[in-house]
Every structure is written in C-alpha cells, then in structure tokens.
Structure 1
Amino acid sequence: MFKHAFCIGTLLVASLPLQAQTDERGAARAQLEPKGFLYGIGLGVSEEIYQGYDRRVIPLPILGYRGDKLSVLGPFISYEVLEVNDIEILLQAAPRFQGFDESDSDVFRGMAERDFSMDAGLGVRYERNNWKFNVSAVHDVLDKSDGYELSTGLGKVFRSGPFFYEPSLTVSYLDSNHVDYYYGVRLNEATNMRPYYQGDNATNVALGFSVSTPIFFDGFTQLAFDYTWFDDSITNSPLVDSDGSFSVRLLFSKFF
C-alpha cells in the first residue's frame, strides 16, 4: 500500500524534470528544472497487507505548476521557505492514500470506514555530490486519524548516458493514533474472528529503486519500485496477514 503520499509527491517533484547532478545548483537548475505549467499521467500499484485486499491501484493525473519556491502538482503542494547552501526547508501538503471500507475485504465487514486524509507539515532536504537526504514531519490535518508521521530518507543518484538510477532507504515512524486508526479494531467492531486490537507506535523500513530518463516523447519518465517491511505493531493486527509489501509507480510528465 502507499504508506504515505509524500513518497509519491517526492517522485513527482523529482521527475519534473531531472534534478541537476552538480553542486553548481543555481545554473544547473535553471537549465534542467524549467519553471512553468506542466502536465502528465502516472499509475501506482501496490500490494496491500490487509487480509483479502490484494492490491491498491492509484491513477495519478499530473497537472500543476513549478515556480522558484512553489510547486503545485494536483493535491501535492510544497513551498520552499528557506534555502541555505544545499539545505532547503519546505512546507508540504499531500493526500494520504490509505484506508478501507467494508467492500474491500470480508475482514472489514461490520467495521467503520477508514478514510483517505490529507497530511501537512515541514520537510528538510539536503543534496550534494549526487547524494540526497531528507527529513519530514507531517500531521493529519483533516483529523481522520489525528496521527503524525516522522520520516527520513537517504538516496544516491547514478548516471549512465540519458538514464539516472537512484537506490534509496526510508525509515518512517508512525504514532499510535495513526496505527490504531488504520490497523486497530474497536470494541464495537470486535468479533470471534476479529478480536479487539489497539495499535501502538510503529517504525517501518523501505528500500526503493528508481530509473528516470528524459528521452521519451519530449518529456520525463520515471519507473520506481519499493519494498516496505512493517513494524510488529502493524503486522500483529488481526486485519493484517503480511509483514511486507511491494509497490511500483510509473510517471510521465512534460511542460506546456
């Protein structure tokens, strides 16, 4: 499943088009990151760890704008409030593609719907010598789970001709409100086959790999894969029958 929408939002930002692989960021960005309105399409498919819920498919229409500080890519929004050398501080907002209703699996019958939501918060990004490091702290601003997430990621970009490859590692911490909302079973939802369960804090780890290129249709294409290992606080839930999930995303974008 898409544990958090910022993984998608980061991919969108990174693929519009390729970020400069140089420390001379100003001149390189002017050439490789044009400003203006853009459009595109994407598709995300991910395995679900819920019982009887095989996969989640998310279409990603891309329509937005990139300026010097503001990026708006549909519901994914970021605004750079400060840049010091190679460090950027950003305000961020993104949807959380998570949740379920009774129709998604038999295990959810008799349970209240768990809704998609919207997260917002602060991010810090550092890039140098093809290394990328980011930290973010976001909170559920629609008060569905009233939870928050802290995450940190590390990646490095390698280039071979017109192709760019980026392996990455992400560690995310989810508070008990978030885990209990999406993986807990309330007292009035408990049955003999689905006992009461209250989720606790969780730390998940994900490995990713992406391939990007600007050679197709005068735009930018990116294919990304991720595998996530889930904390015991999530996998011990009676709603869950797997301790890991695989996801793939394909994105294409270009400027008007």
Structure 2
Amino acid sequence: MTLKAAASLFCLFPSIALAQSPSSTSDLLAKQEDDRWTIGVGASVKDDGYAGEGTRIRPFPLIGYEGERVFWRGLTGGVHVIKGESFTLDAVLAGRFDGFDIDDLGRKELAANGLNADLLEDRDDGLDAGLSASWRGTAGELKLSALADVTDSSGGYEFAADYGYALHWGRTTLVPSVGVRWMSSDLVEYYYGTLDEEVARGVVRYQPGSAVVPQVGVGFSRPLGEHWKVTGSVNYKFLPSEITDSPLMDPDVSGALGARVGIGWSF
C-alpha cells in the first residue's frame, strides 16, 4: 500500500480532537474516562478563510481506542513509547485536513484576487508522522510535538506547543487551551501559496515562507447515562500575514474557526 493510499484510509476517520496535531485538550479529555473504546457519529464545521469557500460542514464516524500502549483518537493515533505518571513520549500519526478542491472556492472571489481558477491545482490532504512529548501535573498539561508530512503532499513539517487545563462541573469536563504552531515554508506555501506549475501557467507567484500560528480553544465532554457521552471542541486560529495576504484567501480574513461535536457509546 502506498503512503497516499494509507493516508486516504486514515482520513476516513476524522476526530473530535481540538487540532489535527496531537493536543493537550484531546489528551486530557481522553484521560477522564476508563473506557477503552468509543464508537459514534459527529459533525465538524470549519471556515479556513479561503476565497469564496465559506463554511464546510462534514459528518464523520467517531472512533476512539485507549490502550495501555496503543491509542487511536480519530485523527490521531500512535504508540506510547514512554508512559509515566507525569511524562509521556508518543510516536504518532496525525491526519492533516488542510486540503481543498479548487472547484469549492469561488471563481469570482479568486478573480478579484488576480487568480484564474482554471490555472490552479487542488491541494491534497496529508498524513503526518512524528513525536509528541507531554508533561502533566496539577497545573494542567503541556505538550510539545514535531510532525512531518509522510505523504509528500506538501513535504513540510511543523512544531507545536499546547497547554490545557481540565475544569470539572459535576460530570462535565471543560478543557480550555492555548497553543502555537510553527509551520515550515513548504507546508505554508503548499496550502496558502501558489505552486511552481501554477506560476508556469501564468499565475502570480506567492511564496510566503514559514509562519507562526497561535490558537485558543476549549474542549468538553459530558456523559449521558452509563455508556453514552457527548464530546466536542471549538478552536480559533489567529492567522499571520503570511497566510492572510495569500491570493487564495478572502481579503478580510484574520482567523480560522473550527468546531466539532459528536455523540459516542463507550465501553
């Protein structure tokens, strides 16, 4: 099986996780339950700010597994290389859903930015692999991760830092979080720049280089009876000028909003 095919299979199982890369929010929510399996359904809402695309709504199956060494949290799966009371080192795979079809963007909006949609290429989703280290204590959890694209969709990589703190009201758990991501130039230019083959057709060259993306969010979990629970997250990314100045983006965009909610049966 090729890496592209493996990524396609992996991407059949989107997640309730706050972010595509491993996050402290998904970790802390997973640790609230003793159940090994979660199976259910959910929906995601996403507005990345691409020109004329608008809000994307996507239903998905919700599948999770928490083992002693192996875990699967929808978008993110992996193996606990080191698992202690306060420190964990994981080898991870994480789906990257930043891709889009040019037909889903607005031709009129792209033209207003100086782009001819007929000369543009689609951007593929990808699959990242890397390491994630987390430190957990009474003050919450800090997670550092390093991921690289193994499908060569973008050929890029990112480093991320996330902090989350679990709050409890009865059986409801809320996890506010803050984070920051450094995205390599290959990663940013693939999803927000113009490609060499597009420039060769006459498209304006836009190669913004690397970018730093801060974000805030909150995740939640609430049991419904003995085995059912509802889980979700909302996050907002503060997009830097390297991204917002892209001719692929709406001219007035300043951030990207995403939300997910699902209901699952745990056992």
TM-score range, shorter-chain basis?
A: 0.7 to 0.9
Instruction: Decide whether aligned partners of structure 1 residues 12 and 81 sit closer, same or farther in structure 2, where only a CA change above 3 A counts.
Output: same
**Structure 2 residue matching 1:51: 3-state secondary structure:** coil
Partners in 2 of 1:75 and 1:160 — Cα distance? 27
Residue 38 of structure 1 aligns with which residue? 38
CA shift for structure 1 position 167: 1.1
Residue 251 of structure 1 aligns with which residue? 262
Counterpart among 145, 153, 156 of residue 147 in structure 1: 156
Partners in 2 of 1:154 and 1:251 — Cα distance? 23
Instruction: Decide whether aligned partners of structure 1 residues 118 and 178 sit closer, same or farther in structure 2, where only a CA change above 3 A counts.
Output: same
Partners in 2 of 1:216 and 1:52 — Cα distance? 42
Partners in 1 of 2:197 and 2:163 — Cα distance? 42
**Structure 2 residue matching 1:177: 3-state secondary structure:** helix
Give CA-to-partner distance per residue, 1:5-62, whole Å, 9 cap, x none. Answer: 226x87666545xx24xxxxxxxxxxx4233x43112211011211101022233312
CA shift for structure 1 position 145: 0.4
Residue 60 of structure 2 aligns with which residue? 60
- Aligned residues: percent identity? 26
Instruction: Decide whether aligned partners of structure 1 residues 79 and 246 sit closer, same or farther in structure 2, where only a CA change above 3 A counts.
Output: same
The code of the aligned residue for 2:212 comes to T
**Structure 1 residue matching 2:119: 3-state secondary structure:** coil
Structure 1 contact 162–215 (Cα < 8 Å) conserved: no
The code of the aligned residue for 2:78 comes to S
The code of the aligned residue for 1:254 comes to W
**Structure 1 residue matching 2:53: 3-state secondary structure:** coil
Moved more, 101-110 or 176-185: 101-110
Counterpart among 142, 145, 162 of residue 136 in structure 1: 145
Partners in 1 of 2:225 and 2:215 — Cα distance? 29
Partners in 2 of 1:84 and 1:218 — Cα distance? 28
Partners in 2 of 1:232 and 1:219 — Cα distance? 43
Partners in 2 of 1:42 and 1:217 — Cα distance? 19
CA shift for structure 1 position 86: 0.3
Instruction: Decide whether aligned partners of structure 1 residues 233 and 3 sit closer, same or farther in structure 2, where only a CA change above 3 A counts.
Output: farther
Partners in 2 of 1:236 and 1:219 — Cα distance? 44
TM-score normalized with structure 1 length: 0.84
CA shift for structure 1 position 127: 1.6
Residues 74-85 of structure 1 mapped to structure 2, 5 A cutoff: 74=74, 76-85=76-85
CA shift for structure 1 position 160: 1.2
Instruction: Decide whether aligned partners of structure 1 residues 233 and 156 sit closer, same or farther in structure 2, where only a CA change above 3 A counts.
Output: same
**Structure 1 residue matching 2:246: 3-state secondary structure:** coil
CA shift for structure 1 position 128: 1.1
Unaligned residue ranges in structure 1 (runs of 5+): 21-31
Structure 2 contact 145–161 (Cα < 8 Å) conserved: yes
Residue 103 of structure 1 aligns with which residue? 103
The code of the aligned residue for 2:51 comes to Q
Instruction: Decide whether aligned partners of structure 1 residues 3 and 76 sit closer, same or farther in structure 2, where only a CA change above 3 A counts.
Output: closer
Partners in 2 of 1:144 and 1:205 — Cα distance? 23
Instruction: Decide whether aligned partners of structure 1 residues 131 and 250 sit closer, same or farther in structure 2, where only a CA change above 3 A counts.
Output: same
Partners in 1 of 2:266 and 2:190 — Cα distance? 39
**Structure 1 residue matching 2:148: 3-state secondary structure:** strand
Give aligned pairs, total.
240
Partners in 1 of 2:209 and 2:216 — Cα distance? 23
CA shift for structure 1 position 120: 0.8
CA shift for structure 1 position 189: 2.5
**Structure 2 residue matching 1:189: 3-state secondary structure:** helix
The code of the aligned residue for 1:114 comes to R
Instruction: Decide whether aligned partners of structure 1 residues 254 and 232 sit closer, same or farther in structure 2, where only a CA change above 3 A counts.
Output: same
Residue 221 of structure 1 aligns with which residue? 230
Residue 27 of structure 1 aligns with which residue? none
